[in-house]
Amino acid sequence: MHRKGVAAGLRFSENLIGELDMLRDKKICFIGAGNMGEALISGLVCSKATSPDNIVCTDISERKLKAVAEKYGVTTGTDNAAAIRGADLVIYVVKPQILASVLKETADSLDMSKIIISVAAGVPLAVIESCLKKDLRLVRVMPNIAAFVKESATAIAAGKHASRDDINLAKAVFDSVGKSIFIEENILMDAITGLSGSGPAYIFLIVDALADAGVKMGLSRDDALFLSSQTILGSAKLLLDTKEHPGQLKDRVTSPGGTAIAGIHTLEKGGLRTTLINAVEAATQRSRELGDAMIQNFTENND
């Protein structure tokens, strides 16, 4: 394993430090140093929630490990079992298709002394527990792509042996890259995947369409894209900060006989609301289908 210096200029939030204090003395192991793994390492290091000395990550790519070590000052290596042994939290950030084989490889290093967190989409906790053939403090998490800018909307579900403290520790990790909620029912994780997991793709499509509309009306592409993106950002912040119902905020924008109500009439006529509902439903169903395929894959790999 090797370790390099911490990158200079890392920013952090003073409020976040207080929230994440519980992680300060925990040893955290990341199995997988891809995009999401690096986003989580960045969040923890930048927020100073824990020292880089407390983080170890593994990956099959030496080039990726070298880059992560140099940028964040964490320990890296290719031996998953060795990395897990001294960890308090083990976070599997690998593709669902290879999770079964990685779990089997590391099973002997896992026990009830560790919190095991899976970020693999479509893989139920019960299947992971069955694959490992032992009782474990399992937590399942569904973040989204906005974790890369520390604005992820993340849902957390717990296995039967995970305690409230385990959930809070998992929440602290993922709050370093955005905001998270705890979901009581594991079966709702497919709906989470359809809504917030896939949601950024819907928003990107909406922003792209708004920008096209601006260009059609005479704006430059850059100006139209900036105005569309900032409008989405500002509207979301207004919703979160005021906690008003979106219908109430919509009414504050629409004046009688005005421009906004004319635009909304066109959106309703075009079925925007129904289309978005159908999109979330379709994505949720697809998540269930992929989950069933993952269950089959785990069963075959477990024979």
Q: 8-12, 148-152, 247-251 — which is least confidently predicted?
A: 8-12
Q: Quick one: pLDDT at residue 303? A: 62
Query: 261 and 150 in one domain?
Result: no
- φ/ψ (deg, to 5) at 128: -65, -45
Q: What is the mean pLDDT of residues 189-193?
A: 93
Q: Quick one: pLDDT at residue 200? A: 97
Boundary residue ending a domain (136, 161, 189): 189
For the chain, give the percent of residues with pLDDT over 70: 92
- Residue 298 located in a structural domain: no
Q: Quick one: pLDDT at residue 30? A: 98
Structure tokens that stand for 202 in this block: 């819907």
**pLDDT bracket for residue 172 (50, 70, 90):** very high
pLDDT above 60 (res 12):
no
Q: Quick one: pLDDT at residue 90? A: 98
List of long-range contacts for 107-113, beta carbons under 8 Å, 24+ apart: 107/132, 107/133, 107/134, 108/81, 109/80, 109/81, 109/84, 109/85, 110/84, 110/134, 110/136, 111/136, 112/136, 112/137, 112/161, 113/88
Q: What is the mean pLDDT of residues 39-62?
A: 94
Query: 82 and 126 in one domain?
Result: yes
Q: Quick one: pLDDT at residue 73? A: 96
Query: 122 and 228 in one domain?
Result: no
Q: Quick one: pLDDT at residue 301? A: 65
Q: What is the mean pLDDT of residues 156-174?
A: 94
Q: Quick one: pLDDT at residue 7? A: 36
Q: What CATH number is given to the structural domain containing 219? A: 1.10.3730.10
- Residue 9 located in a structural domain: no
- Residue 21 located in a structural domain: yes
Query: 238 and 96 in one domain?
Result: no
Give the ranges where 176-254 is alpha helix by DSSP (H). Answer: 189-192, 199-216, 221-242, 246-253
Boundary residue ending a domain (189, 213, 242): 189
**pLDDT bracket for residue 92 (50, 70, 90):** very high
Query: 220 and 169 in one domain?
Result: no
Q: What CATH number is given to the structural domain containing 61? A: 3.40.50.720
Range of the domain at 34: 14-189
Boundary residue ending a domain (151, 168, 189): 189
Q: Quick one: pLDDT at residue 22? A: 85
- Residue 227 located in a structural domain: yes
Query: 154 and 257 in one domain?
Result: no
Query: 133 and 264 in one domain?
Result: no
Q: Which residue has the higher pLDDT, 219 or 2?
A: 219
Mean pLDDT of the chain: 90
Q: How far apart are CA 75 and CA 3, in angstroms?
A: 5
Query: 224 and 174 in one domain?
Result: no
Q: How far apart are CA 271 and CA 294, in angstroms?
A: 34
- Residue 93 located in a structural domain: yes
Query: 254 and 106 in one domain?
Result: no
Query: 231 and 254 in one domain?
Result: yes
pLDDT above 80 (res 163):
yes
- Residue 278 located in a structural domain: no
- Residue 291 located in a structural domain: no
Q: Which residue has the higher pLDDT, 295 or 226?
A: 226
Regarding beta strands 137-142 and 152-158, do their DSSP bridges make them parallel or antiparallel, or are they unpaired?
Answer: antiparallel
Structural domain total, the chain: 2
- Residue 97 located in a structural domain: yes
Query: 172 and 119 in one domain?
Result: yes
pLDDT above 90 (res 19):
no
Query: 242 and 123 in one domain?
Result: no
**pLDDT bracket for residue 96 (50, 70, 90):** confident
